Structure 1
Amino acid sequence: MTSVEHFVPDAEADTSPRVVAAYIEAYTDVNDLIVDPFCRSPICVTTAVAAGRRAVAVNFSPLDALRTRLALVPVPTRDLDAAATRISDSPKFDMPLRRHLLRLYRTACRSCGNEVIADYFVWERGRDVPSQVSYRCAACGDAGLRDCVEADVQVLKDIDPRGLHYWYVLDRAARQDDEPRRFAAELLELYTPRSLYVLYNLVLKAEDLFAGSTIHDFLRLALLRCLELGSVLNPAPGDTELAETA
């Protein structure tokens, strides 16, 4: 048996799959096996499959593995929209989940006094409460970054920092007798109680409604992106050093 190896440039070096496709067409035939031993991007695998080749990809990152697997089983946008709507409309206490979660980000327009939903809150590092809020009022048009008031802080008092949502996430991350539990607890400190509570509710609803389905895998990927955006490591717009958003 003859074995021929060809170097294919890192797919991430060129966002277009055309370079990878050119190598595949030049050096392989239909039904040949293509191996990507450092699959940091789904481009090589998806391009190979589209060209009628078989593919094996290896990556030790569960996130990259999930991203590559989902790239091979696209789901219609309308199905993802329907799933998001179903989660949004699912009940939470006496209201839809979407309304319940949005109310946690309510503030008052500084111009007309109407209740509005904030775009984001800014937390200065080292402070236990947000210092500023960004919003756009549909009633009077007032918009921009404003200083927080006492009512903004009061909303946060409805969320117990060590409530069920905190212990649920911590127990999912590490068992009580695990050494990594201390590190898991430190990671949770990257999230404000409000952000953690929102993520907890979205995870629960996604699992309850779509567990075991491809839709659930796509939702997991979206929630992982939310984990990145929702942490205190995410800087406020225009500020890379002093503050974070939540």
Structure 2
Amino acid sequence: MARSARKVVTRSPARSVRLINLPHLQSEAIEAESSVERDFAHLAALYPFTRRILHQPFRLDLDDRKYTPDFLVEFDDRSSIVIEVKVESKLERFESVYQAAKAKLAAHGVCLKIAHDQMIRTEGRAERALLIRRYSKDHCNEGEAQAILGLAQESQTGVRMSELLSRGFALPTIYHLIARRRMCTDSALDISRGAVLASINNLITEGRHADHFDRWLDA
């Protein structure tokens, strides 16, 4: 694996590159070359144990071509996963490339995950990720935040959104805590009144964070 240059793919003048700034997660902006890549980045940033998201992280020399994956996601336990983001209808065209890349990465103990648009956007999950992300920029009432977190930490199973709202807690504060990953919802990013919200401090995962993220993304 060779570290990629800052710009690996030659982009046409008509192709825009989005810069996603998530200073609460990492100092450098995340590049996204499509709306699907943008949606993936917002989704991955809400996973409780994500430490860093790198766009076009390296180049792989395969037998008949070079391959640059879309993202490398690094986690708090120092595990990582390589992500290829694609529109589902185009997957078959590149199947041989992905299989060759998977085999080469597996030799280094790294998994390549294909994240297609239907997976990322299933049942409005991407839209909810974008909504939650807007609240990451805001400040919140820290006293109210601590009260919410206290309720969430009292139970290993979490607290329902409806209970928090019935106690008079502000919805923007709840969204802010989810956006900043001080508490979390499920992998579908449910933020309805029936959603169960948990304290990050109460989360327990089996195995590596990278493997858990692989399953979390599928859910």
TM-score, length of structure 2 as denominator length: 0.28
Answer 1 or 2: higher relative contact order, Cα 8 Å, separation at least 6.
Answer: 2
TM-score, length of structure 1 as denominator length: 0.25
| Structure number with bigger Rg | 1
